Amino acid sequence: MAEQAGNLTFGIIKPDAVRAGKTGAILQRITDAGFKLRALKLIHMTKPEAEGFYAVHRERPFFPDLTAFMSSAPCVVMALEKENAVKSWRDLMGATDPAKADEGTLRKEFATSIGENAVHGSDSEENAAAELAYFFSRLEFV
């Protein structure tokens, strides 16, 4: 994946959006925005897996609620490819709080609250590489 640094990012369609039946609509918006799906799978994280993934937030007050939510139901993890992927994906997602998200963003359209905000995305190329490696082996990329 090193040959594509800057062009790959990691995303999650979170349990709230999957539970609401919005996976297909969100995937369509992602591909319509010019992203290529390089890896994709439906998973159901255990609480320890969610705690490991969000370990950077372990000391934050929202950590228990976040990890309980992320392990509450299936989600879709994705490797997304596009030029300037991290920024492009974060722009498409919109602000963390859907009430503050711009029109046309995924969170404005699909999220219900700051805690259940439909999608996750890496915030840097370094975190994208780590998050992709957490969920995907090299063999899973196409």
Catalytic residue among 12, 120, 128, 131: 120
- Dihedrals φ, ψ of 42, to 5°? -90, 125
Residue 111 burial class via C-beta count within 10 angstroms: exposed 0-12, middle 13-18, buried 19 and up? buried
Residue 100 burial class via C-beta count within 10 angstroms: exposed 0-12, middle 13-18, buried 19 and up? exposed
Residue 120 a catalytic site member: yes
Q: Which residues does the annotation mark as catalytic? A: 120
